Structure 1
Amino acid sequence: MLQRHLVVAAVIIIATCPGGFAMQQADIPSVEPEDAIMAGSAEVAEISDWVRACFAGERPEGPGPRLDIELRQQDHNVLRYGQSCMETPLRIGSESFERGLGTHANSVIAVALPEGARAFSAQVGVDNNYDTAGARGTVRFIVEADGAELFRTEVLRGGDAPVPLRVNLPEGAWEMVLKVDATEDGAAYDQADWADARLEMAGGEALFLDENQLDPFLRLAGPPFSFTYGGIPSAELLGRWDRFSTSRELEDRTEHSVTWTDPETGLAVTAVAAAFKRYPAAEWVLSFENRGEADTPLIEGIQAMDLQVRTGNSKRAAVVSGLRGDVCGAESFVPFAQAMNIGEALSQTPEGGRPSNGAFPFWDLSYGDEGLAVALGWSGQWSATFDRTAPGPMRLRGGMELTRLSLRPGEGIRSPRVLVMAWRGDRIDALNRWRRLLLFHYVPRVDGLPIRLPFALQCFDRYSWTRPEWATEKGQIAAAETAASLGFDAHWLDAAWFPGGFPNGVGNWTPKPEEFPAGLKPIGDACRRLGLSFVLWYEPERVAPGSVIATEHPAFVHGGEQGGLFRLDDPEARRWLTELLSSQIEEFGIGIYRNDFNLDPLPYWRANDEPGREGMTEIRYVEGHYAMWDELLARHPGLRIDNCASGGRRIDLETIMRSMPLWRSDTSCSPGHPDWNQSQSAGLCQYLPLHTACGWTPDPYDFRSSATGGAIAQWDYMAPDFPADLARETLAEARANAPYWYGDFTPLALANTDPDHWGAYQLHRADLDAGIVLAFRRPSSSYLSLQARLRGLDPEGVYRLELIDDQREVTHQEATGADLMAGYELRIAAPGSSLLIRYARVDAE
């Protein structure tokens, strides 16, 4: 109970202080901390070796000298070193072994013999484990050298004692092949061990076959991508093509550029792959270029990711975890975890061409205490499959849903971007390592720091339909002044400033002449004077019929004068739109360019593909989207882009490299969803470090539910009884909490919207040894308390805690890190209430 874990130092009641937080105030971090969350050097080196081997074709260095072993066949599970194929210690009969190979019939293992190899010896038999139970399985062991059989055992059965063998090798032999035959009764339970397998050398030394062998979770299986070219799989082609590779050292990664060129047609496939220096992570993106003089044969089924992971034990499930994606409802970004057994596959794709519409291109795969975090970067119609239908390694594939195209001479395309990070140990630690990787190496940086989320006042959904005076120059300047007086750092004008209004006026990107006679510059100037960023909404990719763009530039629209999708796939149209946006960013003084996208583009892309060029319109559109955002960022240093698409339906690896999702779901368009906001934070924070949502009132329960490292407010500030003092306190509290959202995240309760339960999570800054806990007792919850285990603390440290309830009454406590991590009781007296805990280590001050 609470009394066992805490030493209560004092109880202080503070009526009006915005949180009463007297501990160290913090800014957002610039670099990741070096602590136990970060992977060890061996894990990082393993992925670096994997990148060099799979892309550049180099032999992985590994921990030391080793024999070259090639697995040519294994009908079930995967080959293991120093353990059985069931991932148990090697055991034959009643005898255990520390060294050897664990395989499963039927299997063929080839060993390149070094000069001076004189003999091979081993102890062989059926592995004795929980599955064979010392009674099941029948196999034969066969040894060959240079194609000639040297040795064959009788049929060996489960439970038999190990059979020793020693085989003299012919002088000058270059290859030994070890075979396990399933015998006439089939391969069931035929888990076979080559225990203590070794080569005896002419000088008398022994070389163990398992010594220093690489056994990474990411399988060494050639280039981790695939496609079909002229009807032939790339796995059959790339080995015959010319290959050229270079590498270079960057600050945070080693980058390899590898090009395979078909000497007959001139198709060049280039992979730019990187291995990170502080993370066991790899990234790559492909490009295809026709360097020949004629159209290429068809390129089909481009899978930017096609790799295998070592999930061989048929009795152990692999678990694929991820999020549903945005559906503008209670299920938005709700986590799922699907156990994958032999014979099962999971396929996902978004709806309509927006990458997080109903699906989410970030996952983690766990298998025992190992796993792989995965992300796809493609702001279009991707597909991903986690395939465990075969009894061996699990296969992961991802790329565009449809590619079937020919490239013309001189033409090139790019693929989706792939990021993977292998991990061992604790899954929550691994996901925090993943958050750090994205925060410090992917999200945009401004002034040397990860992009700062704003605190913005935005009242479009509240006032645009009911208070016409709000959407005027005078009303917007007054709104900006109110924002500054309450403590916001940004003023947000959404879709209320252009002729025709929303949605009928999209495509009219000039201010309403009556409401804004001098344009929007006076609002931007007011924001600058008040120290605010000016957030302005656009939806440049949707064009309404009758709008200026549809009427004056129909060639720039898929749909022409009838409106439709703006042609970012057309370089001329993209340049025109980029110039328009760039000039208005400059003229209006826009600090945060808000790009909405309330249209499914996939039907337009598919309808505009030429025969034999399926997928080309989508590729050119996505390339154009990136080019436009990159150009705006390059022209306007410090500009921040808010990525919105009917809420959070355009989130992927590529967009988070350029933008931030400030409106992660259109559930923010209406009040009354704090439980949904809690669930969205709990889900998204497992994979993304930065995002936020909207709170409709300054009530602590409501705003604590929506605020993250930033916050949006649709407060009724024009109401005569608006509680301005409460609003200032609520906002000050959220801004003080914000830096901790740039730290490590721990869910303390399930991420769901069940009104009978609690929501709770911890944000911890390892560099400060401090953090916050947010807990929510939902309106229908009958539970008075929640037992939470905090993470990341020093067990020997002493921490001061400030417990702040919804009335901002503050209780001070102290506890050791060991006690807080063993179990801390969060207590909330009333349903529909919240608790904020701030903590910091005090014994190291």
Structure 2
Amino acid sequence: MKRLFLLICIIPIICGISSGQKTTVVPETQNDVRQWVGQHFAKGKIPPFSFVYGGRSSNDFIKNWQFSAEKIKTTEPDSEVNIFTYSDKSSGLTIKCTVSSFSDFPAVEWVLNFTNTSGKNSPTIEKLAVIDHSFTSDENGTFILHHAKGSNAERSDFQPIDDKMQAGKNIYMTPSHGRSSDNTAFPFFNIEMPGKQGIMVAVGWTGKWYADVLQTGEKSVSLKSGMEKMQLKLYPKEEIRTPKICLLFWKGNDRMIGHNQFRRFILAHHTRKINGQFAEYPLSGSFDYGDPAPCGEYECLTEEFAVALVKRYQQFRILPEVFWLDAGWYTGCGGDKEKGGWWQNVGNWSVERERFPNGLKPVADAVHSTGSKFMVWFEPERVRPETQIDKDYPEWLIKLPKNENFLFNLGNKEARIWMTNRISDLIKSEGIDYYRQDFNFDPMPYWEANDKPGRIGISEIRHIEGLYAFWDSLLVRFPKLLIDNCASGGRRIDLEMTSRSAPLWRTDYQYGEPNGYQCHTFGLNFYLPIHGTAIYKTDRYTFRSGLGATAVLNWEVTGKNGESIPAIQKKIQEYKNLRPYFYGDYYPLTQSSTRDNAWLAYQLNRPEQKDGIIIVFRRGDCNSESIMTKLHGLDENATYELFYEDYGVTVKKTGRELMAELNLTIPQKPASLLISYKITD
């Protein structure tokens, strides 16, 4: 059966929702997407977004607003950009919708910008839904919403959820707080429809988004999504932008067709490029992590010890691609200080000179002399009492009563520019190659407290606009910069952040616990090809539990309790051999499970290279020695050579046989199995 794919990406801003949008069939080709855009963004048509303006639904009046269309130039390969403008002459409100479509994917993206061009406050804008649309399937049947849990430093982080829908009942998703993948929801999901088709969805808003999915009938489903809380007037000449949504329409026998097309789309159009080429995120290595109490993080690291560690990694020929300096390098930190904790000194963005008398540059120079890169941790959005920023620029901080975490207001343009310049100066002066940004508290109460009457949501909008502008400025100033996106682990993963960064440390769940790491890989791989975690040991089970397109080596190299040097050398090379497969197509081979008595297995297939790998885990309390599964995405007429890496055994089977059944056996527990395969001549 010929498989047809379609991707639509949209950019929304919403706090409530209005209905009334037309129902359309799921498009099937790139040309169908362009026609869909032309039909819905047109003069006299209701667009696929809605809002309430001055108490009236946009569906009642937007067809009568002035409409214009303009094609603009773009530097993005394989894309076409148009701006559709809706203007209300009487009130001065203008909505610009920037729409991108693609020649390599049946895809479209758009972002809305609302501007008050008048000299007085606008009427109230609320219940703004950038996607407010219904889609029909080809036949009656079951609708299934495949989604996932967010991150809460638990084994169940990113756990897949499969909900069968019922006509007339909705499923509402939103993160528990103001970070986009915090705990209760993950902003990527798949609406599987009857008729072997569906819609991949991704939200791009690094705050409190929502998505409301409703099965409206036996053959139809509606989707509304955007920013959860917004009810505001725009001041004269004021402009706001909206969140982003991505929809990928797919057709085929397996819903993983949609997931894998989405993964490919992310790599092509929402992954960092350097000089127009795909930027591979690194295999990182920490400095000696975990000094004795009262030291925490890197509060006791010194220039001399850091340089010595770099030389030690070089001596043992176990160099990472990036040396990673985490929290504790800045002024005020130190295990011998009363308030020397790393968290107590965020807001002091200068180098601690007692331990680094020459700054971080000598460490960077030592790193660069080995051919590796240097990455440094920052948390610019959090400021603690009595730090430099608190003393010098208190007007840039949003504070709550009885709370010693202050929010640095990136929505304040002056503050954002200062922070951009400060971080840029440190990147230049200290020889920093890659930038790691953390964010360890919930911003939502601060945004809500800072909103003025009649301006609900403006602080969230301005902060997130400022965050994107801050990162975009860094990426322009430093064209070879990579950004590691951290927020207490993986609590700010969404489409906008994925476009600019990658989560190299995807969760703060128990450091080194392998079964949890397996779960996180299993869940995130449905949507994102690039994410990472730490590898603490060289045994096969632990090592394979931490595999991904990027990883962090947290191995002890200074004492007798560490892993052996030959074992580390072997695993580094093995990781580099396996990493390319994680950019391939992903197929789960078992059900997801957080239990210790389960099997977990997945396949990474590269059809263009005609090869792939299978990674299998039998956990410690699992009594069964084997399971039956089947592979996916193979050429049924080809012969494949399977190599069992742990046993040195080669088996040949046809693609048809492998896609019918495959027995996986692991006699020991806990233990793992790695099988590589390729088409033979």
TM-score by length of 2: 0.90
Whether the aligned pair in 2 keeps the contact of 1:246 and 1:256 (CA below 8 Å) is yes
CA distance in 2, matches of 1:612, 1:440: 41
Aligned to 2:290: 462
Residue 473 of structure 1 deviates from its aligned partner by 1.1
CA distance in 1, matches of 2:214, 2:47: 18
Give the 3 Å change call, closer, same or farther, for CA 398–546 of structure 1 in structure 2: same
Whether the aligned pair in 2 keeps the contact of 1:457 and 1:483 (CA below 8 Å) is no
Alpha-carbon deviations, 1:264-287, whole Å to 9, x = none?
A: 011001111222223232211111
Aligned to 1:357: 182
Equivalent of 1:258, from 84, 88, 96? 84
Alpha-carbon deviations, 1:377-409, whole Å to 9, x = none?
A: 111111111123667732211111111111112
Say if 2:41 is the partner of 1:55.
yes
Secondary structure of the equivalent of 2:242? Answer: strand
Unmatched 5+ residue regions in structure 2? 8-26, 334-340
Residue 727 of structure 1 deviates from its aligned partner by 1.2
Aligned to 1:582: 424
CA RMSD of aligned residues (A): 2.2
Say if 2:404 is the partner of 1:566.
no
Say if 2:57 is the partner of 1:43.
no
CA distance in 2, matches of 1:316, 1:353: 36
Equivalent of 1:626, from 468, 490, 499? 468
Secondary structure of the equivalent of 1:486? Answer: coil
Give the 3 Å change call, closer, same or farther, for CA 459–824 of structure 1 in structure 2: farther
Aligned to 1:496: 328
Residue 519 of structure 1 deviates from its aligned partner by 0.8
Aligned to 1:811: 649
**Larger mean Cα displacement after TM superposition, 655-664 or 342-351:** 342-351
Residue 562 of structure 1 deviates from its aligned partner by 5.7
Aligned to 1:602: 444
Aligned to 1:152: none
The one-letter amino acid of 1:282's match is V
Whether the aligned pair in 2 keeps the contact of 1:537 and 1:596 (CA below 8 Å) is yes
TM-score by length of 1: 0.73
Whether the aligned pair in 1 keeps the contact of 2:202 and 2:495 (CA below 8 Å) is yes
Whether the aligned pair in 2 keeps the contact of 1:343 and 1:389 (CA below 8 Å) is yes
Residue 780 of structure 1 deviates from its aligned partner by 1.0
Aligned to 1:703: 543
Say if 2:239 is the partner of 1:412.
yes
Equivalent of 2:531, from 665, 684, 691? 691
The one-letter amino acid of 1:495's match is A
Say if 2:392 is the partner of 1:552.
yes
Aligned to 2:259: 431
The one-letter amino acid of 2:61's match is L
Secondary structure of the equivalent of 1:661? Answer: coil
The one-letter amino acid of 2:268's match is F
Secondary structure of the equivalent of 2:308? Answer: helix
Residue 839 of structure 1 deviates from its aligned partner by 1.7
Secondary structure of the equivalent of 2:342? Answer: coil
CA distance in 2, matches of 1:37, 1:525: 51
CA distance in 2, matches of 1:747, 1:562: 44
Secondary structure of the equivalent of 1:273? Answer: strand
CA distance in 2, matches of 1:273, 1:530: 45
Q: Which of these two proteins has the greater Rg computed from alpha carbons?
A: 1
Residue 840 of structure 1 deviates from its aligned partner by 1.9
Which residues of 2 match residues 387-536 of structure 1 at below 5 A? 387-388=214-215, 393-425=220-252, 426-458=254-286, 462-463=290-291, 465=293, 471-484=301-314, 485-498=317-330, 499-500=332-333, 501-536=341-376
Give the 3 Å change call, closer, same or farther, for CA 242–713 of structure 1 in structure 2: same
Whether the aligned pair in 2 keeps the contact of 1:710 and 1:735 (CA below 8 Å) is no
Aligned to 1:308: 134
Which residues of 2 match residues 77-88 of structure 1 at below 5 A? none
Whether the aligned pair in 2 keeps the contact of 1:546 and 1:563 (CA below 8 Å) is no
The one-letter amino acid of 1:824's match is L
CA distance in 2, matches of 1:317, 1:390: 11
Which residues of 2 match residues 671-750 of structure 1 at below 5 A? 671=512, 673-722=513-562, 723-750=564-591
Residue 720 of structure 1 deviates from its aligned partner by 1.9
The one-letter amino acid of 1:827's match is T
CA distance in 2, matches of 1:838, 1:459: 33
CA distance in 2, matches of 1:473, 1:414: 44
Give the 3 Å change call, closer, same or farther, for CA 670–563 of structure 1 in structure 2: closer
Give the 3 Å change call, closer, same or farther, for CA 766–389 of structure 1 in structure 2: closer
Whether the aligned pair in 1 keeps the contact of 2:489 and 2:507 (CA below 8 Å) is yes
CA distance in 1, matches of 2:288, 2:511: 11
CA distance in 2, matches of 1:556, 1:362: 33
Alpha-carbon deviations, 1:418-470, whole Å to 9, x = none?
A: 21111111211221011101111111112443331211112576337477896
Aligned to 1:330: 155
Aligned to 2:13: none
Secondary structure of the equivalent of 1:822? Answer: coil
Aligned to 2:601: 760
Say if 2:39 is the partner of 1:228.
no
Residue 821 of structure 1 deviates from its aligned partner by 2.0
Whether the aligned pair in 1 keeps the contact of 2:28 and 2:251 (CA below 8 Å) is no
The one-letter amino acid of 2:58's match is S
Give the 3 Å change call, closer, same or farther, for CA 666–296 of structure 1 in structure 2: same
Give the 3 Å change call, closer, same or farther, for CA 466–687 of structure 1 in structure 2: same
Aligned to 1:157: none
Secondary structure of the equivalent of 1:397? Answer: strand
CA distance in 2, matches of 1:743, 1:464: 41
Whether the aligned pair in 1 keeps the contact of 2:137 and 2:197 (CA below 8 Å) is no
Say if 2:378 is the partner of 1:541.
no
Say if 2:672 is the partner of 1:834.
yes
CA distance in 2, matches of 1:434, 1:565: 34
CA distance in 1, matches of 2:6, 2:111: 24
Alpha-carbon deviations, 1:349-399, whole Å to 9, x = none?
A: 112210000111111101121110011111111111112366773221111
Whether the aligned pair in 1 keeps the contact of 2:288 and 2:556 (CA below 8 Å) is no
Q: Figure out how many residues of one structure are paired with residues of the other and give that number.
A: 641
The one-letter amino acid of 1:364's match is N
CA distance in 2, matches of 1:781, 1:587: 53
Whether the aligned pair in 2 keeps the contact of 1:795 and 1:817 (CA below 8 Å) is yes
The one-letter amino acid of 1:400's match is M
Whether the aligned pair in 1 keeps the contact of 2:438 and 2:487 (CA below 8 Å) is yes
Aligned to 2:627: 786
CA distance in 2, matches of 1:460, 1:239: 63
Give the 3 Å change call, closer, same or farther, for CA 626–664 of structure 1 in structure 2: same
Residue 683 of structure 1 deviates from its aligned partner by 0.8
Residue 316 of structure 1 deviates from its aligned partner by 3.0
Please list every run of at least 4 consecutive aligned residues from structure 1 whose deviation after the TM superposition is greater than 4 angstroms: 35-42, 389-392, 464-470, 560-563
Unmatched 5+ residue regions in structure 1? 1-34, 59-220
Say if 2:164 is the partner of 1:339.
yes
**Larger mean Cα displacement after TM superposition, 474-483 or 598-607:** 474-483
CA distance in 2, matches of 1:543, 1:391: 52
Residue 653 of structure 1 deviates from its aligned partner by 0.5
CA distance in 2, matches of 1:707, 1:449: 24
Residue 52 of structure 1 deviates from its aligned partner by 1.3
Say if 2:459 is the partner of 1:617.
yes
CA distance in 1, matches of 2:192, 2:289: 42
Whether the aligned pair in 2 keeps the contact of 1:335 and 1:683 (CA below 8 Å) is yes
Secondary structure of the equivalent of 1:504? Answer: helix
Alpha-carbon deviations, 1:285-343, whole Å to 9, x = none?
A: 11100111211100112212211111597x63311111111011011000001111112
Residue 255 of structure 1 deviates from its aligned partner by 2.3
Give the 3 Å change call, closer, same or farther, for CA 824–658 of structure 1 in structure 2: same
